[in-house]
Structure 1
Amino acid sequence: MTSMLDLTAAAHRMTGLLAGVRDYQLTAPTPADMSLGTLLDHVNGLSLAFTWAARKEFPDGPSRPPSSDASNLPPDWRARIPERLDALAAAWRSPEAWQGMTQAGGLDLSGAEAGHVAMNELVVHGWDVARASGQPYDPADAEIEACLAFVAPTVEQSGGQGVEGLFGPAVDVPDDASPIDRLIALTGRRPDWKAP
């Protein structure tokens, strides 16, 4: 799992989704069992945390899990989060980001693992945002495969019970489920989830 991934397309896709979120949707539920505003606060925080992880610089002291609280969502989130997503993608284009050890979410992990987690966060939470806000979502096959290569063994090690702070217990899907549906189910979400 040492190959570099390019997070640019996933970051740009998330930015496009954010542009489609309406203010009244911030209180809407998401497949991630939190309001859309809370999820966007999480995306705001993880964008910064994984940029620091790539650079191996932690200006706020030791790494902590990103905030997930809609009341913390900054008023300028429509401008701030896309800027942070651009910085995230740029930071992971550096080969040094994928080498050695780093920190993210309060955990020590290799640069390669952190890069894969960052990609997975963008792809899975992109799906969450798209579903909650009623937007289409079409990540690249290579992104989904990279996420599956990271998520499947992690979930298998947990016996399908999920990983605290990462994934809920896996959801069963048919054998012929699409790769994105398999990924979403492995993270504990129902692939058929629709906004009420």
Structure 2
Amino acid sequence: MLDLEPATNNMAELIRGVADDQLQASTPCPDMSLGDLIDHVGGLSLAFTAAASKTSLDGDMGPRADVSQVEPSWRTFIPERLAALAQAWRKDGAWEGFTQAGGVDMPGDVAGLVTLDEVIVHGWDIAAASGQEFTCPPHLLEAAYEFLQASVAENPQGTPGLFDAPVPVADDAPLEDRVIGLTGRDPAWASARR
């Protein structure tokens, strides 16, 4: 069991640091503006909190990506959702048994790693798009890296709807860059925009 709180806290700080005039900014996710991505994070926080507690979401509460749906209080309620997400994955049984996320049944430990991956990678996306610094503890990056390596081994050309084919990154590159490269993102994306 991993404590997701350091990653969710980092993402919450990044979200609070996004300026209103940045919501239309491009992101490493080709079809999403920064506002779309923030909306997506709000929904995935609910979806993966439900996955941890083995409950279902009501109606249209899952992840979407639509800046027009971002509520004015997003800098408050999305960090609150992220805190609840971390808390849910600390509870007994969250990493055990089976659960569902995004309509896919999966073991609890896999769902926990998917959650970690979503928080780390989209945290990096938000940091890159908004010009903020991304940080994540090495042990969480290592867990995400191992998870992503296994995913790439099964789907070397990417996972439709999740990741593009991996971007080549040097074996001696920082762990953060190697994680990001496995998701099909170019670790140099942010610096290329400057």
1:111 Cα offset (Å)? 0.7
For 2:49, the equivalent position in structure 1 comes to 51
Aligned to 1:175: 171
Q: Of 65, 70, 73, which aligns to 1:73?
A: 70
Correspondence for 2:21:
24
Give the match for residue 107 of structure 2. Answer: 110
Q: Any stretches of 5+ residues in structure 2 without a counterpart?
A: none
Give 3-state SS (helix, strand or coil) of 1:142's partner: helix
- SS of equivalent to 1:103: strand
- The yes-or-no answer on 1:141 pairing with 2:138 is yes
Q: Matched residue of 2:100: which SS?
A: strand
State the Cα RMSD in Å: 1.4
The Cα shift of 1:70 comes to 1.2
1:64 Cα offset (Å): 8.3
Overall identity of the aligned pairs, in %: 52
Q: Deviations over 1:94-139 (max 9, x none)?
A: 1211111000011111110110011111111110000100011121
Aligned-partner Cα distance in 2 for 1:65–1:162: 23
Match of 1:94 among 84, 91, 95: 91
Q: Give the direction of change, closer, same or farther, for the CA distance of 1:83–1:92 in structure 2 (3 Å limit).
A: same
Pick one of 57, 80, 83 that aligns with 1:83.
80
Quick check: 166-175 or 104-113, which moved more? 166-175
C-alpha contact 1:54 1:97 (8 A) present in aligned 2: yes
Q: CA deviation at 1:59?
A: 3.9
User: SS of 1:98's equivalent?
Assistant: coil
Query: Using the alignment, how far apart are the partners of 1:150 and 1:173 within structure 2?
Result: 17
TM-score norm. by structure 1 comes to: 0.93
Aligned residues of 2:14 and 2:123 also touching (Cα < 8 A): yes
**TM superposition shift of 1:165:** 1.9
Deviation readout 1:31-52 (Å, 9 max, x if unpaired): 1221000000110000000000
Task: Please give the TM-score of this superposition, normalised by the length of structure 2.
Answer: 0.94
Kindly provide the CA deviation profile for residues 130-162 of structure 1, in whole angstroms up to 9, marking residues without a partner as x: 010001112110010010111111111112x11
Separation (CA, whole Å) in 2 of partners of 1:107 and 1:141: 29
Q: How many pairs align? A: 191
Counterpart contact for 2:46–2:61, Cα < 8 Å: no
